[in-house]
């Protein structure tokens, strides 16, 4: 049991919409303890010994899959990776049957990445093990949303009143949607900017969100910037005229960064298109927390696995 009797034991991690601020705080506090473990020489605690976790990935991923795998292993769980391209999925097995098969093998948690919005929630209706959503289409990427919050807390020591700016392809971004939920719940102001063709048309109806036509306008006095990845296919779909023009008018560069607060924090969920949505000088510059985000991702995923599988008691038990 965590503070204020908040517990995430057995909770499916589908999106941040269903998280309370207290639950988010519990995850962030636990992640801080986890980060200490990552910094040890021997990065291993036995808390999840005897637990088995499956990484079920229907889409390619470097950061999320690897960090979930390491998170499980640092905690002593057995972690199996399943990718759609090397499983019965290529023989046409349905998601229901794949999930039932994994469940029948006795796993405790399934981490799922899928291109269909709602796939993780669907899984919770089909099988008993805890489901952790590692990204479902453009809907949600809650672990990314939490690691973004963790990174903000690390540098800013608070959330309340901070101005966050999310730049770029909000339309196709599950990261943006999880940030929008998470940041607002923690009291941040969320500003969005990018080409209107990459902005959901009716998002303005959602309270607590400010949408800008020009990114300069959004960046003024920003405390935190999250620069989203631009998928190159979007240009072919006619959503913006050229990568050159995108970089020139919507790219995050030093000149635009200067509009933000002096201590602004720059994040990017990766993988980056340097020179397109973000200039390499910004990506590797003094304000960038992009590498830190990756390490924080492991800590957040460790925290979630512990919290949903054990409730978070006795993290160092048996060590």
Contacts of 91 (CB under 8 A, 6+ apart): none
- Residues known to be catalytic: 63-64, 91, 113, 141
Residues 70-109, one symbol each (x = binds other proteins by CB under 8 A, - = not), give ------------------------xxx-------------
Taking Cα atoms as reference points, which of 67, 53, 130 lies closest to residue 296? 67
316 binding other proteins? (CB under 8 A): no
Residues 169-188, one symbol each (x = binds other proteins by CB under 8 A, - = not), give ---xxx--x-----------
Q: Looking up tokens 């962030």, which residue turns up?
A: 28
Q: Looking up tokens 């306008």, which residue turns up?
A: 217
Residue 116 C-beta: closest distance to other proteins, Å: 3
Interacting positions 7-36 with other proteins (CB under 8 A):
none
Q: How many Å apart are CA 72 and CA 66, to the nearest integer?
A: 10
- Length of the chain, please? 319
Which ranges constitute the DSSP H helices of 220-286? 233-236, 243-250, 254-257, 280-283
Residue 269 C-beta: closest distance to other proteins, Å: 15
Coil/strand/helix, residue 3: helix
Stretch that binds other proteins, among 74-82, 134-142, 264-272, 282-290 (CB under 8 A): 134-142
Q: How many Å apart are CA 278 and CA 280, to the nearest integer?
A: 6
Stretch that binds other proteins, among 65-73, 115-123, 189-197, 300-308 (CB under 8 A): 115-123
- Binding residues for other proteins, rule: CB under 8 A, are 94-96, 114-119, 121-122, 124-125, 136-140, 172-174, 177, 200-203, 205-206
């Amino acid at each position: 049991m965590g503070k204020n009797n908040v517990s995430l034991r057995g909770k499916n991690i589908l999106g941040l919409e269903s998280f309370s601020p207290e639950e988010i705080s519990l995850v962030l506090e636990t992640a801080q303890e986890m980060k200490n473990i990552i910094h040890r020489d021997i990065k291993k605690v036995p808390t999840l010994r005897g637990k088995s976790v499956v990484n079920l990935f229907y889409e390619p991923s470097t950061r999320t899959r690897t960090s979930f795998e390491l998170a499980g292993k640092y905690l002593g769980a057995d972690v199996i990776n399943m990718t759609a391209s090397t499983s019965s999925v290529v023989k046409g097995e349905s998601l229901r049957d794949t999930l039932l098969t994994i469940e029948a093998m006795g796993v405790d948690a399934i981490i799922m990445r899928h291109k269909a919005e709602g796939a993780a929630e669907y899984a919770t209706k089909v099988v008993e093990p805890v489901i952790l959503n590692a990204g479902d289409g453009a809907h949600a990427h809650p672990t990314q949303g939490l690691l973004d919050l963790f990174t903000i807390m690390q540098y800013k020591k608070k959330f309340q009143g901070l101005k966050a700016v999310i730049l770029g392809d909000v339309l196709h971004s599950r990261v943006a949607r999880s940030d929008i939920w998470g940041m607002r719940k923690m009291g941040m102001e969320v500003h969005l900017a990018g080409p209107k063709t990459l902005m959901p048309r009716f998002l303005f109806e959602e309270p607590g969100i400010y949408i800008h036509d020009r990114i300069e306008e959004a960046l003024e006095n920003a405390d935190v910037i999250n620069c989203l990845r631009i998928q190159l296919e979007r240009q072919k779909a006619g959503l913006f005229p050229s990568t050159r023009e995108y970089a020139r008018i919507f790219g995050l560069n030093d000149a635009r960064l200067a509009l933000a607060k002096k201590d602004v924090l720059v994040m990017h969920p990766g993988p980056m298109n340097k020179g397109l949505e973000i200039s390499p000088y910004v990506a590797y510059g003094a304000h960038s927390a992009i590498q830190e985000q990756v390490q924080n991702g492991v800590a957040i995923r460790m925290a979630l696995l512990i919290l949903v599988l054990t409730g978070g008691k006795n993290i160092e038990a048996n060590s």
